[in-house]
Amino acid sequence: MSKRYFIHTFGCQMNVNDTLRMSEALKSVGYAATADFERADLIVLNTCAIREKAEDKMHSALGRYRQVKLSRGALIGVGGCVAQQEKSKLLERSPWVDFVFGPDAIGNLPQILERVGQDRVRVVDTAWVDSEEYVFPRADAETSRGKVTEFVTIMKGCDNVCAFCVVPHTRGREVSRPFVDVLDEVARLTRVGVREVTLIGQNVNSYLGGISFAQMLLRTCEVPGVERVRFTTSHPHDLSDELIEAFKVQPKIAPHFHLPVQSGSDDVLKRMRRDYTVAEYLERLARLRAARPDIAVTTDIIVGFPGETEADFEKTLQLTEAAKYDGQFSFVYSARPKTAALLKEAEWGVVPHEQKVERLDRLQALQKRISLELNSQNVGKTLEVLVEGRSKTDAARRFGRTPQNRTVNFDGDAPAGALVEVKIERASASSLGGVQGRMLSPAPVKIDEAPADAELCVA
């Protein structure tokens, strides 16, 4: 019987996508997936270092998996951003870990396993691959069979210098994937039934893979079978006129822009080294909304960055009101190794934890009110929904998303992959509810609705 693997994924879409590539590497050497870690012969943690909390979660998970090592001798590997950051320190701290591998070493998994299994050595593979030599792992479209929507990596790394962020240290310099490879992957995905793709990278609008990012989006929309194209994540300083123009001319570019602002205070933005002002950000946003009036905008905010005063924070509340975000991902600032903010925090002034949490609560309450207000405007409307499968909260209902990326749970029987109209009857701050109407376009292939990512455990 083949050996079984279990991957526990933390963090962002890049990691979710990297987990798929890890699965493919493991399958190529005879492993099969299991959804039950207690039966696994190999457990891999694909980790995130963005905030201390994510790192803490991974250490407690690692403690749980130690039992599986003791009971059945499972191999334990740590990949992802914490692996890149901590390297051999992880082996010292957790003696039951067999190997540590960085994001550039996913393709080396078969060789790493051979060394661990046959030579009985513990391995650390966190070397950077030079930009010119880096080859993006080629996705196997079969991995995505059964999915309606899929991520496609278009670049890796980040050349920005945001003072709070560990990513440039864990993912290295930007490298763009040649556009022909991206388009080829998209075409292969549509053949197995995928209708929506999200182009991903830490900083997609500085893409340099042979054509501009705006052209990359337009070309992706032209791949036969592609219904919607999304992307994430962006830095406001590369929101070019060309990209705004693409939103105007190509309706398949889904009307949703995730544009992290981080703070509503120019003083804080300057210390964060974000190189735009709130006024410049709002001006870009206004141009985007003029080009595509139905666009939904979401953002990321950090509260309690070193030196953030009550007045600074109130400016973040004011910006939240002014920008009318459809949604926000907001976090308390977490000091990260090697970052500029960590070096400067004594000089700038650390915001006490209770104050950070109190500010986060206020911001989240405000955003909840705005999200509910905006979502409620959809009640009574008929919206186009791409069906993804069963509702996660009620298996008798269906689940899908609008072009704006709003989640909709509805009564109906449309199969995954179909594009249908849904009459909206209810709204909450996080989702919409309604009843299926007209079928706009049937599913291109029959999708087996056994949960496609049963083997994935995303924290």
Closest CB to ligand 5AD belongs to which residue? Answer: 300
Confirm or reject binding of residue 262 to ligand 5AD (CB under 6 A). yes
Binding site partner of 456, from ligand 5AD, ligand SF4, none, Cβ cut-off 5-8 A by kind: none
Question: Is residue 264 within the footprint of ligand 5AD (CB under 6 A)?
Answer: no
Tell me which residue of 198, 179, 191 sits closest to 136, measured CA to CA.
179
Name the E strands within 48-154.
75-79, 99-101, 123-125, 149-153
Residue 116 or 155 with smaller CB distance to ligand 5AD: 155
For residue 400, the SS3 value is strand
* x/- map, 59-98, ligand SF4, by CB under 6 A: ---------------------xx-----------------
- Interface with ligand SF4, residue 105, by CB under 6 A: no
Q: Which range touches ligand SF4 (CB under 6 A), out of 11-19, 113-121, 185-193, 259-267?
A: 11-19
Distance in Å, CB of 392 to ligand SF4, minimum = 23
Q: Which of 168, 209, 236, 260 binds ligand 5AD (CB under 6 A)?
A: 260
Shortest Cβ distance from residue 183 to ligand SF4 (Å)?
Answer: 24
| C-alpha–C-alpha distance, residues 65 and 37, integer Å | 8
Q: Which is nearer to ligand 5AD, 50 or 385 (CB)?
A: 50
Q: Which range in 10-18, 275-283, 341-349, 378-386 contacts ligand SF4 by CB under 6 A?
A: 10-18
Q: What is the rounded distance in angstroms from the CA atom of residue 275 to the CA atom of residue 367?
A: 25
Q: Does 11 bind ligand SF4 (CB under 6 A)?
A: yes
Query: Sign of dihedral through CA atoms 151, 110, 34, 104?
Result: negative
From ligand SF4, ligand 5AD, none, interface partner of 281 (C-beta below 5 to 8 A by class):
none
Other C-beta atoms within 10 Å of 107: how many? 17
Which of 140, 300, 425, 453 contacts ligand 5AD by CB under 6 A? Answer: 300
Interstrand relation of 327-332 and 382-390 (parallel, antiparallel or unpaired): unpaired
Distance CA 375, CA 371 (A): 6
User: Rounded to the nearest whole angstrom, what is the least distance from the CB of residue 1 to ligand SF4 in the complex?
Assistant: 33
Task: Tell me which of 171, 195, 292, 336 binds ligand 5AD, using CB under 6 A.
Answer: 336
141 binds ligand SF4 per the rule CB under 6 A = no
Q: Where are the beta strands (DSSP E) in 233-347?
A: 256-258, 296-303, 327-332
Q: Name which of residues 31 to 90 contact ligand 5AD (CB under 6 A).
A: 50-51
Residue ranges with strand state E in 140-201: 149-153, 155-156, 175-176, 196-200
Residue 116 vs 303, nearer CB to ligand 5AD = 303
Backbone angles phi, psi at 385, to 5 degrees: -125, 130
What's phi and psi for 443, nearest 5 deg? -65, 135
Please enumerate in sequence order all residues whose Cβ is within 8 A of that of 209, keeping only pairs 6 or more positions apart, or say none.
Answer: 154, 155, 176, 177, 178, 179, 182, 216
119: DSSP letter: S
Which spans of this chain sit near ligand 5AD (rule: CB under 6 A)? 50-51, 164-165, 260, 262, 300, 302, 331, 333-334, 336
Which spans of this chain sit near ligand SF4 (rule: CB under 6 A)? 11-12, 14-15, 48-50, 80-81, 166-167, 170-171
